[in-house]
Amino acid sequence: MTGFYQDGPQLENQYHDDGLLRSFLDRVLEGKARKEVENDLARFADRLLGDVGEMAADAEAHPPELVQFDAWGRRIDHIETARGWQELERVSAEEGLVAIGYDRKLGSASRVHQFAKLYLFNPSSAVFSCPLAMADGAARLIEVLGDDELKQNALAHLTSRDPAEFWTSGQWMTERTGGSDVGRGETIARADGDVYRLYGSKWFTSATTSQMAMTLARIEPPGGEAMPGSRGLSLFYVETRDADGQLNNIVINRLKDKLGTKALPTAELELQGTVAKLVGEPGRGVANITTLVNVTRLYNAISSVSLMRRGLALARDYARRRVAFGRQLADQPLHAETLANLEVDFNGCFLLAFRGIELLGREECGEASPDESAVLRLLTPIVKLFTAKHCVASASEILESFGGAGYVENTGLPKLLRDGQVLSIWEGTTNILSLDCLRAIDREGALVPFLADIRKKVAACTVDELEPCTRRINESLEKIEAYLPEVMAEGRASIEAGARRFAFALARTYAAALLVEHAGWMMQERGDGRACVIARRWCQNDLAQLDVLDADYLQHTQSLAMDEPLTT
Ligand code: UCC
Ligand code: FAD
């Protein structure tokens, strides 16, 4: 073997390597807590390069398989998962990946600790972070709505650090009728003594090997018809297996053949009399399950930023190893410009996602003011949709930064794009979340405190270098405020068609304020101007690209979308 062979990228300890994570934690955590978190994260990041990395590699190499029959022809519907996948469940319990958020040893900052750990874990987890997300969402739901029995049983399992006791959860909402419009679901619940039995199909169920699930069904009164629409749906708790380990009248039709998330079992289920327990008030299922969904959406955001950061770490290392046209890629001005832009995007997305986490912690510990709760309500769909879109774009650019190697499976790089792509689809698509922003504004008056929060951060900035940013943010706030009455006068179609631009404008402007806040702190506490440069670059572009879409525009849109002749 002669000739040139390129070295591949290497990863260092991803806690020590991540300046933004460390400086963010320095800023938001107090002395003793900061030290404890530092020790835990630095140790865990080492482990991710060792045994946990091997477990994830095994899980990726051996995707789940559905075994429908035993040797004697009995229907068993057993999902065989890799040993690595099973070990990741053990590690998740031992490391307290859900438990940290519920022990609350650091009060509201426990959520920051937990999600910083999940942020390190996700890109090394073969997407085991998905069952953890749903376990955490279910734990929060039970904390808020569950009765004593659920708290003593399911909640104790979901938040256990003992691998023998630890459970994960599924979240079965999507049916063939629709995953966005959940209210079209067909699953029926019939009362049977003090439990219910569920009949219907669930079209996408990730982490189907979980011990429990939260799901939706409509209660059918004896001899009557169930109420249609989303107001007819109720929330149910299901244990997937009985005391003998048999499936709870659940048939697994098949596993999905997916673009990515290959190690994660995602199935199609038939519920054929599945025993279930009603949770919360009948008919409030959709509203009630949003407590779970709002947690998993924040997991989604942290996963997005973690993949952005992992891609950058790999691309940077490679840029020092790869030579083209007489110098390292790192020293090619246009390559450096490409990576620098990704760094700026990553910083904005990171601060947005972790702002959501800080507010979640405050809300759960009863420390959030009503205004902060409203900000959290609006920020949750915003951070989910914005970080997911940036994650996909960033993954595509990262692959390209490796040239052809980025397209070759056994470099491990295509996984960044394949696993990133799902983040804008599940847990509510970009459009559905853009519309959810409107819901949060309409029903919970969340815009006023949201914009006030931005203003407060801008007003607190005393660093001269950030003046171009604060000016740009103020301009953007003015545009947002001017847009609203105009678009409302135009009518509902215009409001909806503009909802994605509007959500992006809010995301960019809020992120700009967070970048200014962080940069101001870095400058004042550390004399470090790097974050100021990042904030200025973020603010170079128009933060709020908002035009009111009038009737003509909307008619043209319809023609362009469906390739139909123009009618005006
Ligand atoms: O995809 C899934 C799992 C993937 C795997 C997990 C990965 C985790 C991340 C890990 C990373 C590695 S599970 C399926 C996810 N499916 C969705 O997210 C559904 C998307 N569709 C929506 O979100 C829709 O907007 C619906 C279903 C909520 C629309 O329902 P309705 O009933 O038509 O809408 P309404 O009538 O506006 O809302 C019903 C109630 C209202 O409250 P009330 O009745 O009091 O007025 C709303 O205010 O629900 C309330 N509500 C909310 N409340 C609706 N959305 C929310 C919300 N987000 N927060 C609080
Ligand atoms: P549709 O609802 O049919 O949407 C199709 C398109 O129409 C989307 O682009 C959407 O944005 C757009 N659209 C719909 N309504 C509007 C509107 N009013 N305005 C503008 N645009 C609109 N679901 C679960 O319940 N549990 C799971 O565990 C789970 N795991 C999953 C795992 C994977 C890998 C994937 C890919 C999906 C999973 N899902 C799960 C399903 C996922 O949540 C849904 O696919 C998603 O919510 C979209 O629903 P849908 O597929 O029915 O698309």
**Residue partners of 476: CB distance under 8 A and separation at least 6:** 505, 508, 509, 512, 542, 543, 544
Query: For ligand 1, what atom is nearest to the CA of residue 419?
Result: 12
Spatial distance between the Cα atoms of 115 and 292, rounded to a whole number of angstroms = 16
Q: Report if residue 522 sits inside a domain.
A: yes
The last residue of one of the domains, among 283, 302, 321, is: 283
Q: Report if residue 248 sits inside a domain.
A: yes
Residue 398: is its pLDDT beyond 70? yes
Q: Report if residue 350 sits inside a domain.
A: no
Q: Report if residue 334 sits inside a domain.
A: no
DSSP E strand stretches across 21-137:
65-69, 75-80
Query: For ligand 2, what atom is nearest to the CA of residue 430?
Result: 11
Spatial distance between the Cα atoms of 474 and 342, rounded to a whole number of angstroms = 25
Give the Cα-Cα-Cα angle 512, 513, 517 (nearest 5 degrees): 115
ipTM of the complex: 0.99
At 331-360, the pLDDT tens digits run 999 999 999 999 999 999 999 999 999 999
Q: Report if residue 242 sits inside a domain.
A: yes
Q: How high is the pLDDT of residue 1?
A: 75
Cβ atoms of 311 and 342 closer than 8 Å? yes
Query: For ligand 2, what atom is nearest to the CA of residue 258?
Result: 34
The last residue of one of the domains, among 264, 283, 302, is: 283
At 70-105, the pLDDT tens digits run 999 999 999 999 999 999 999 999 999 999 999 999
* Domain span at 539: 446-562
For the residues 271-287, what does the mean pLDDT come to?
Answer: 98
Q: Report if residue 236 sits inside a domain.
A: yes
Which of 485, 486, 460, 484 is CA-nearest to residue 473? 460
The last residue of one of the domains, among 248, 283, 318, is: 283
Counting runs of H as helices and runs of E as strands, what totals does the chain give? 20, 11
Cβ atoms of 342 and 398 closer than 8 Å? yes
CA-nearest residue, atom 39 of ligand 2: 204
Q: How high is the pLDDT of residue 207?
A: 86
At 328-337, the pLDDT tens digits run 999 999 999 9
Per cent of the chain over pLDDT 90 is: 98
User: What residue type is 33 in one-letter code?
Assistant: A
Any residues with Cβ below 6 Å from ligand 1, and which? 127, 129-130, 133-134, 171, 173-174, 179-180, 182-183, 206, 230, 286-287, 290, 293-294, 296, 299-300, 303, 426-428, 432, 436, 439, 443
Which of 385, 544, 386 is CA-nearest to residue 480? 544
- For residue 111, the tally of other CB atoms under 10 A from its CB is 28
**What is the overall mean pLDDT for the chain?**
97
Residue 29: is its pLDDT beyond 70? yes
Q: Report if residue 115 sits inside a domain.
A: no
Assign residue 227 the CATH number of its domain: 2.40.110.20
Q: Report if residue 389 sits inside a domain.
A: no
Residue 567: is its pLDDT beyond 80? no
Give the total number of structural domains in the chain: 2
Query: For ligand 1, what atom is nearest to the CA of residue 297?
Result: 9
Is any ligand 2 atom within 6 A of the Cβ of residue 341? no
Q: How high is the pLDDT of residue 25?
A: 98
